[in-house]
Structure 1
Amino acid sequence: MVDSTLVKETPSAVGLTARAVLEVLTPLIQDLSRELSDSERFRRLLSSLRTLFPGDAAALLRLEGDTLVPLAIDGLSSDTLGRRFRVSEHPRFAQLLSRPEPTRFAADSDLPDPYDGLVQGVAGHLEVHDCLGCPLLIGGRPWGLLTLDALNPARFDAIDMASLQAFLSLAAATVSVVERIDTLARTGEEERRRAEAYRQASGQSRREMVGSSESHKHLIEEIEVVAGSDLTVLITGETGVGKELVANAIHALSSRAGKPMISLNCAALPDTLVESELFGHVRGAFSGASSDRRGKFELADGGTLFLDEVGELPLAVQAKLLRVLQNGQLQRIGSDHEHKVDVRLIAATNRDLAEEVRAGRFRADFYHRLSVYPLRVPPLRERGRDVLLLAGFFLEENRSRLGLLSLRLAADAQAALLRYPWPGNVRELEHLIGRSALKALASNRERRRILTLNAADFAFSGALGGEPQEAVPASAPAIVEKDFRSAVTAFERSIVVETLERHQQNWAAAARELGLDRANLNRLAKRLGLK
């Protein structure tokens, strides 16, 4: 079976009139000298492509390493923009990139199509049957792909090769203009180095910041502004919004990108160990200190130290941190020798530190030292349709992990995601997509390789669009079957367990919700047999 054929001009091909082609291409040529956003240039490019060569869907994808990133789509589901296609997992994309000429796949090709199930407005499991694509070359190297797809297997039988080649040349010129503009925007060797560091930080080891809403764009602009300085940054936002991603992006764009970024979750350590983790200790400083150990500040020397959940730091440790921030000098526990460090500090919290200062739980001088440049990360409910882009990103991750050809959202599922208030923000969305995909696959007896998630698969509690109703925990005690003391103990245990699960075993966050001091919660957990 022949998988694909090169597009060749045939005597039977129906050619477009020169005037018709000129009418479509002229505006694109004029756009080359205009000041337009990248997204608008690409939108006009795809619109013109579908005008000249009518199909059901078109896409422009940029090659970043071994991954194709959708930059613009026309006729595909909006979550496609959030997907990342690894070339090694998509043989059609691999073939398109391996040939300089346009390639059209046979309608009966057994190669999986990455767009199956993603064509907009199509119900059921209809698959793409006519697929045409070609690489866009910049400087002789593949920059990305331009694809055109149709559900009708004979849609591109009469394609005009001369018109297609003219359009491809113009498309390459368009992306070349975009690339040149982007290059000119980065002035000097330092900016180029920062951009490279950011691209490396956005690779497989780090999550990408996906979004196109105004609030997300404003956040990116703020990151770019503060990254070039050495100012201390205080990142605030609700649990699950991605504060650590923001910290990573700031470091990657900074002049310290070549140096380490060291992270410490202040809520994950008991008070007795926080100081040792931050400043280090010498042998014999306390019971169990069998050797000298460098702290996080020394490990981050020359780079960045990220303190997550900084609001959980004890007051005594805050005072010592203040001294380090003021003069860069610290002492290991048990040592009289001072160490000089050069560290940029980025802190994050989901607390209102100003209120903590007023309540006497946080030092005012330390708060003002931290909040030199405050940066708020918006909750997911304020980011509009970004939820679909993020869903697409997580869908593609789970598609690859579960070995599916396609994992998509039904229309009612997209509507449900847009209506839900997302109290757990992006982290909740990630867990929801992963859990729902796994459950849907397990309940699919036919084991279809193209899987569609419906609103019912999400199993939201309560009415969509409102606050989710609290479900009664499975471990809730049956009071009538126990004596009073046992019933109270069982109820306390169920409440603590449920609260910890809701906060991903973050004891400090659970203590805040329960209105308990963290030490009191630890003692309660021991009494209940949870520790």
Structure 2
Amino acid sequence: MDILTTLAAIAIDLTADMKAEDRYDRLLTALHRAIPYDAATLLQVEQDRLVPIAARGLTPDAMGRTYRRQEHPRLDVICSAEEPVLFSRDSPLPDPFDGMLADDPGGLHPIHACLGCPLYLNDRLIGILTADALDAGAFDHLPQHYLKTVSAIAAAQMHLASLLTALEEKAERQGLIVSDLMQDRSLQSGSEIIGRSEAIAHLRREIELCAKSDFTILIQGETGVGKELVARAIHLHSRRRDQAMLYLNCAALPESLAESELFGHVKGAFTGATQDRSGKFELAHEGTLFLDEIGELSLPVQAKILRTIQNGEVQRIGSAKTSRVDVRLLAATNRDLAAEVGAGRFRLDLYHRLNVYPVRVPPLRERKEDIPLLAGHFIDRARRKLGLGEVRITPEALRLLTRYSWPGNVRELENIIARAVLKASQRDARSQHLVQIAPAHLAGDIGSAMYVQPAELPSTKRSGTSQLSLREEVRLYQIKLIEDALTRHNGNWAAAARDLQMNRSNLHHLATRLGIRHKQLTGVAADTLQPES
């Protein structure tokens, strides 16, 4: 170990011109020369939460989670310390990264060595650095003064990266100071778009570009892709972010109420109008109005929206008076509005007014590399709602998630993950170990659905190499799931069906279709594999 070389490499990176994420990765890489960790994580402090901003040696879903101090006593100890902390081998405090090491994804070898360094800037805690190793004595030889020096340099790196990012955003967003940007980030917790794929990177660039203007934006995308999140992100990056953004789901409005909701009414305008009422356009004055599923509105209401966009005026039902409004309009739809115009169900002039800057939200099947991050995020959310401890997902289950075509997109993934967490928690209710999501917990939702909605094959040129189609790969994977369940239960079909969360008769039908009836399994007699008549 060359401590001076390591410190020199970190110090040199302080003066290098690079992106924040590259700076963090270089820091962890340099530290590995001197600290023999199996996994290391750099976490940023946000009030009572710790948000991972860089990691090495952890499973992909770790970066999609947040860690609350009150839920992770080891992290809380590190945050409360003034110097680096080396936990004893027999510490009773659970390690937050047990079961998440890339070299040990199943958690068969609990983490034995755990080191934590609080990162301070001017006596203010800005983050922590953690290092974990399977070797119980991996960190015993590290001098305390060296760890304190590493902590100081790491804090400087984090501070420099956050400053550079803030300065870039300051130039783009009309001179806001760094503290305002940090406050904005906490306010944006409900509009976070999770993903690192190129499709999401492109979407973020589109959001940042169109947010600077006051253009009307048409957000297009399939059901469940997160169009409302995009609308909130546009608003929170715009000059109107200090004002309200109002939301209206046009699909949920009866036609008789749509006009009143949008433009308001005066007392006595119709039966039930007992007092004057402002509409959404008036309430959103100087802010943003988001009309979700705008394609569901009737033609007469579309005509009034068009007049408001053109003239900046609204007229309440039953009133002869008009009022001026200054509203940024965002609209979303899962329909093809151009086709709706051709069919006479949507006004051509309104379509052109809305389509000033179209933003397309990609479906989940076009950004499958984001599924591990999304899975980690939704697992974290579900386990908190259920009051569970740590929940992990096996690599096999993650691979199964990436094989599905996700017709319901991110919303469908969230629902399936929530059900899987619930199923896994019931199975492990009496266990003291980590709750693990296995393929069996997804089989009821995805296993049969994959026959109906298999993922599309990529359009690649044919080569001389014979490749299995995705449908055949899915078939082989289903065979493996059933065979493994039967092996675990010594050929007992009823027990295997319970293991796979399936009805027994449905399992028999699926097995017959897959050709398992006469298949011989190692250690299980062939006659035990015959589904009972």
Matched residues in 1 for 2:12 and 2:34: separation? 17
Is 1:353 the equivalent of 2:333? Answer: no
The 5-angstrom pairing of residues 491-510 of structure 1 reads none
Corresponding residue for residue 460 of structure 2: none
Partner of 1:256: 240
Corresponding residue for residue 135 of structure 2:
152
Q: CA deviation at 1:468?
A: 5.2
User: Counterparts of 1:27-426 in structure 2 under 5 Å?
Assistant: 27-122=9-104, 123-185=106-168, 186-187=170-171, 189-190=175-176, 195=181, 198-203=184-189, 206-426=190-410
Distance of 1:90 and 1:327 partners within structure 2: 55
Provide Cα deviations, 1:375-400, integer angstroms capped at 9, x if missing partner: 11111111132111011111111222
Give the Cα–Cα distance (whole angstroms) in 1 for the partners of residues 57 and 230 of structure 2: 32
3-state secondary structure, aligned to 1:347? strand
TM-score, normalized by length of structure 1?
0.81
* In 1, Cα distance between equivalents of 2:90 and 2:411: 40
Q: Which has the higher contact order (CA 8 A, sep 6+)?
A: 1
Which position in structure 2 is the counterpart of 1:13?
none
Q: 1:440 to 1:344 in 2, by over 3 A?
A: same
Distance 2:248 2:449 in 1: 38
How far did residue 151 of structure 1 move? 2.3
Q: Secondary structure at the match of 1:202?
A: helix
Q: CA deviation at 1:28?
A: 2.7
- Using the TM superposition, give the Cα deviation of residue 229 of structure 1 relative to its aligned residue in structure 2, in angstroms: 1.4
Distance 1:25 1:421 in 2: 47
Q: 1:322 to 1:238 in 2, by over 3 A?
A: same
Q: Secondary structure at the match of 1:244?
A: helix
Amino acid at match of 2:249: N
When residues 251 and 318 of structure 1 are mapped into structure 2, their CA distance, relative to the original with a 3 A threshold, is same
Residue aligned with 1:71, SS? strand
| Map of 2:491 onto structure 1 | none
1:449 Cα offset (Å): 5.1
Aligned equivalents of 2:165, 2:321: Cα separation in 1: 49
| Structure 1 gaps, min length 5 | 1-15, 470-531
Work out the CA distance in 2 between the residues paired with 1:137 and 1:193: 17
State the alpha-carbon separation in 1 of the partners of residues 184 and 304 from structure 2.
Answer: 32
Deviations 1:263-301 (A, max 9, x none): 000000111111111001111111111211111111111
> Residues 192 and 295 from structure 1, CA distance in 2 versus in 1: closer, same or farther, beyond 3 angstroms?
farther
2 CA distance for matches of 1:79 and 1:418?
13
1:467 aligned to 2:449? no
Check conservation: 2:378, 2:417, Cα contact below 8 A. Answer: yes
Distance 1:413 1:121 in 2: 17
CA distance in 2, matches of 1:145, 1:248: 30
Distance of aligned partners of 1:196 and 1:157 in 2 relative to their CA distance in 1, 3 Å threshold = closer
Contact 2:84-2:144 within 8 A present in 1 as well? no
Q: Report how far residue 184 of structure 1 moved.
A: 2.2
Indicate the SS of the match to 1:399. Answer: helix
C-alpha offsets along residues 118-162 of structure 1, whole Å, 9 cap, x if unaligned?
Answer: 111313443222211011112321111100012232222222334
Report which stretch shifted further, 408-417 or 120-129.
Answer: 120-129
1:449 and 1:234 map into 2 onto residues whose CA distance is: 48
Q: Distance in 2 between matches of 1:183 and 1:165?
A: 27
The amino acid across from 2:181 in the alignment is: A
Q: Deviations over 1:340-369 (max 9, x none)?
A: 111110000111111111221111110010
Provide Cα deviations, 1:304-358, integer angstroms capped at 9, x if missing partner: 0000001111111111100001111111111111111111100001111111112
Residue 506 of structure 1: aligned partner:
none
Aligned residues of 2:120 and 2:152 also touching (Cα < 8 A): no
Name the SS for the 1:385 alignment partner: helix
- Following superposition, the deviation at residue 176 of structure 1 comes to 2.3
SS at 2:33 equivalent:
helix
Compute the displacement of 1:67 (Å).
Answer: 1.2
Structure 2: any 5+ residue segments left out of the alignment? 456-533
* Cα pair 2:291 2:330 within 8 Å, conserved: yes
- Taking the aligned partners of 2:162 and 2:153, their CA distance within structure 1 comes to 14
Contact 2:52 2:66 in 1 (8 A): yes
What's the RMSD between the two structures over aligned residues?
2.0
Q: Percent identity?
A: 49
- Matched residues in 2 for 1:440 and 1:413: separation? 12
> Cα 1:56–1:36, aligned 2, differ >3 Å: closer, same or farther?
same
Q: 2-side partners of 1:121 and 1:431: how far apart? A: 29
Q: Are the aligned partners of 1:194 and 1:257 in contact in 2 as well (CA < 8 Å)? A: no
> What residue in structure 1 maps to residue 414 of structure 2?
430
Q: Which amino acid aligns with 1:131?
A: C
Give the paired residue count: 449
- Cα distance in 1, alignment partners of residues 182 and 429 from structure 2: 46
Distance 1:125 1:464, change over 3 A: farther
Q: CA deviation at 1:72?
A: 0.9
Other-structure match for 2:506: none
Whole-Å separation in 1 of the counterparts to 2:427 and 2:149: 49
Q: CA deviation at 1:27?
A: 3.0
Cα distance, 1:399–1:448 mapped onto 2, change above 3 Å: farther
**Paired letter, 2:304:** K
Is 329-338 or 117-126 further displaced after alignment?
A: 117-126
CA, structure 1 residues 194+143, in 2 after alignment: closer, same or farther (shift >3 Å)?
closer
Q: 1:374 to 1:192 in 2, by over 3 A?
A: farther
Deviation at 1:464, TM superposition (A): 4.8
Amino acid at match of 2:204: I
Tell me the CA shift for residue 424 of structure 1: 0.9
